[in-house]
Amino acid sequence: MNEHVAGSGAEPDPADAHPESDAALRGVIDDYMSTFEPEPEDTAGLRERILRLVRDDLYRGPSTHLQTGRGNPFSISTASVRSIVRIAVDSVDGIRARSVDVEPAGDPEGSAATVALTVAMRAGIPFAATAEVIRGSVAAAVLAELGIPAVRIDINAEDVYVD
């Protein structure tokens, strides 16, 4: 496996990222190819194209799969989705985002989102009123940035802090 050295400018090779996944995928492709016996011209480079897609996906990290209001599917990195929610939560006075989980929801799935998050709040802040402000901020950010509604926003106050 290639090692990435900070500051070297060299990126790790995604092909080296998950050799077990590559081997498993190669097995599935081989089974498929032996069962259906496609014409050789139909399979030229198929395995490498599939593996390149899988490697690229692994290299980018986990994705959240959603759809636009018109039903067009899209993927966005889960880290980006969490960042959108964190910024919305942190914009509320006296609140700091902790964990964030966003899951596709709606019918069809991915046309909406459910959000579960934990927060730390400054001592003396009334939770019930502030939770509604957090929900409004998160709902607006999800709609503005992702183009889908947040149909459920669960908030758990996990910690209290003093400035």
Q: Is the pLDDT of residue 40 over 70?
A: no
Q: Any residues with CB less than 8 A from the CB of 41 and at least 6 apart, and which?
A: none
**pLDDT > 70 fraction of the chain, expressed in percent and rounded:** 74
> Model-level pTM?
0.64
Looking at residue 2, its pLDDT comes to 38
- Beta strand ranges found along the chain (DSSP E): 63-67, 73-77, 95-105, 112-122, 150-161
Domains recognised in the chain with CATH numbers: 14-60 (no CATH), 64-161 (3.30.70.1350)
The helix (run of H) or strand (run of E) holding residue 139 is helix 127-146
Q: Any residues with CB less than 8 A from the CB of 112 and at least 6 apart, and which?
A: 104, 105, 106, 148, 149, 150, 151
Residues 58-106: tens digit of each pLDDT = 666 788 888 887 888 888 889 899 999 999 999 999 999 999 999 999 9
